[in-house]
Amino acid sequence: MRSYRSTMSSGVSRPAVLLTGLLLAALPGCSNLTREEASQTPAPVQQAAVPTLVSLPVPPAPTLPPPPSEALPLEAAVERAAADLFASVPPEMRSGSTPQMVVIDPLVDGAVGGQTAATRTMEQRLASFIQASQPNYDLRPMNTETISQSPLVLVGSVRGAGPEGLAPGVPQAYRIWFSLADLRTGVVVGHGMAWARTDGVDSEPTTFFKESPAWVVDDGIKGYLQTCLSKVGEPVAPSYLDGILAAALIADGIQAYDAGRYEAALDLFRAAERTPAGNQLRVHNGLYLANWRLGRDGDAEGAFSRLVDFGLRHDRLALMMLFRPASTAYWPDPQITGSYDMWLRQVARRTGPSGRCLELVGHTSPTGPMALNEQLSLARADKVWQDLARQSVEVSDRITTRGVGSSEAIVGTGRDDYSDMLDRRVEFRPMDCQTQA
């Protein structure tokens, strides 16, 4: 196939495609970098139609923040949403003499789908609330034993809202959603919501999600968040029901990893992989991370190759990488960046046989002037292209690059820390190619 290496100017868009991404989580700062222009302009490329950008589920109606006086401190908001949740459960389900078993599937950030310091705080407060004020419910840990008894499963999420609703940006308040899913009937039997103030909401990812090499919107997290948003009487998202056993093993695996029990975490992620819904992002991330922490380089690389395959099959591939501030150089700590060559080697090896084309799209957070952010985002996309070219000329010849600055932010707060690292990424967008004219 002919090379169609692009010299498109930054900020110029092709049709949007499924979010795939080499998530290059740059540290703070923008840049005055200029791009080295190519010596000649290639002929226009005709490409097959591609699907639209995929995002996480949101409510059908606009979600605008309330007046400041109506938002509560985080823990009080958790209690308000929980009280509304249990009050909404049909009376016939609360009238039995034996408390009903309920488990909590770890709460998530609705913007990115992972666990954060805030969701951990919320979960602890939620558990205390149930134990102290809900005698009709018997709170148990979520694991394979309790799931086998078809308990009620409590899911929940939190997401910032500003003048544009749930669009990326600096939040004026945080919306909390809780839902109670009945595994026996497959129906949502409780739902509650509340508003929390922004102070006290720490959106930094927990250890597992901070260290995960990849991020993507997959069916597992979409099903979870869709269930969070569902009202009483609505069906539980089928993908959530189908993956509940895997979810229990994954929850235990993440907990073990965060506690430094890497061998136990590896066993749990392997068990999750063997379930019918085990082919999902958190499992592949977990298998890679646990092997990496255990120093099993060969097994870690094998797990990473399967992670790349997963991304390519879903038309979305994402890796977390760190850059120096205002630079295209990777962060100088080899403990952080030492695996990047292996990551790109596997991207090249697994992409090559597919014969597909790739568009690399660079991004930045909203911090700094727009024009400079576009230059920086494009320069980082070019840096990744150059590194891939060293791994495979054949793959590099099927890549175009583009920089969009902060125009496609996911979080949009501009904090330039781990909480908004998804905004500082370079996305790989796989697409089918057509022969050049």
The whole-number pLDDT of residue 53 equals 52
Give the bridge partners for 155, in sequence order. 179
CA proximity to 308, closest of 399, 430, 433 = 430
Tens digit of pLDDT for each residue in 27-58?
A: 444 433 433 333 333 333 334 333 345 578 88
pLDDT, tens digit, 9 for 90 and up, residues 81-110: 999 999 999 998 887 778 999 999 999 999
Average pLDDT over all residues of the chain: 85
pLDDT of residue 19: 34
pLDDT, tens digit, 9 for 90 and up, residues 226-277: 999 999 999 999 999 999 999 999 999 999 999 999 999 999 999 999 999 9
pLDDT tier for residue 11 given thresholds of 50, 70 and 90:
low
What does the CA dihedral 284, 288, 294, 298 come to, rounded to 10 degrees? 120
Q: Residue 23 pLDDT more than 70? A: no
In this prediction the pTM is: 0.85
CA distance 39 to 126: 60
pLDDT in tens, 285-339: 999 999 999 999 999 999 999 998 898 787 777 778 777 777 888 888 888 889 9
Strand partners, 140: 103
Residues 383-390: contacts with CB within 8 Å, 24+ apart?
383/328, 384/22, 384/24, 384/344, 384/360, 384/426, 385/5, 385/360, 387/340, 387/341, 387/344, 388/344, 388/347, 388/348
CA 224, CA 156: separation in Å to the nearest integer? 8
pLDDT number for residue 99 = 94
Q: Which of 428, 209, 426 is closest to 321 using CA atoms?
A: 426
Percent of the chain at pLDDT > 70 equals 87
Band of residue 15 on the pLDDT scale cut at 50, 70, 90? very low
Predicted confidence at residue 54, as pLDDT, reads 58
Q: 191 with 230: CB under 8 angstroms?
A: yes
The mean pLDDT value for 182-201 works out to 97
Sign of CA dihedral 216, 218, 222, 223: negative
**Are the C-beta atoms of 339 and 292 separated by less than 8 Å?**
yes
Q: How far is CA 247 from the centre of its chain?
A: 15
- Rounded CA separation 55/410 (Å): 9
Angle at which helices 370-391 and 340-351 cross, to 10°: 70
Identify which of 426, 322, 245 has the alpha carbon closest to the alpha carbon of residue 27: 322
Residues 200, 31: Cα–Cα separation, whole Å: 32
Is the per-residue pLDDT at 8 higher than 60?
no
Digit-coded pLDDT (tens) for 56-68? 888 887 899 999 8
The yes-or-no verdict on residue 13 having pLDDT over 50 is: no
Structure tokens, 249: 């093993």
Helix H or strand E segment including 71: none
Residues 416 and 23 sit within 8 Å (Cβ to Cβ): no
Distances (CA, A) of 386 to 325, 379, 395: 19, 10, 11
What pLDDT is recorded for position 290?
Answer: 99
Query: Angle between the 74-87 and 117-133 helix axes, to the nearest 10 degrees?
Result: 50
Identify the top-confidence range among 15-24, 59-68, 134-143, 359-368: 134-143
Mean pLDDT, range 2-28, rounded to an integer:
38
Helical ranges in 22-73 per DSSP H: none
Going from the N-terminus, what domains does the chain have, and what CATH number goes with each? 21-54+316-431 (3.30.1330.60), 68-203+217-241 (3.40.50)
Predicted pLDDT of residue 235: 98
Q: What is the pLDDT of residue 256?
A: 98
Backbone φ, ψ for residue 160 (5° rounding): -75, 145
Query: How many Å apart are CA 321 and CA 337, to the nearest integer?
Result: 7
- Count of other CB atoms within 10 angstroms of residue 46: 11
- Listing DSSP states for 151-170 in one string gives -EEEEEEEEEEBTTBTSSS-
Output the CA torsion sign for 177, 73, 119, 415. Answer: positive
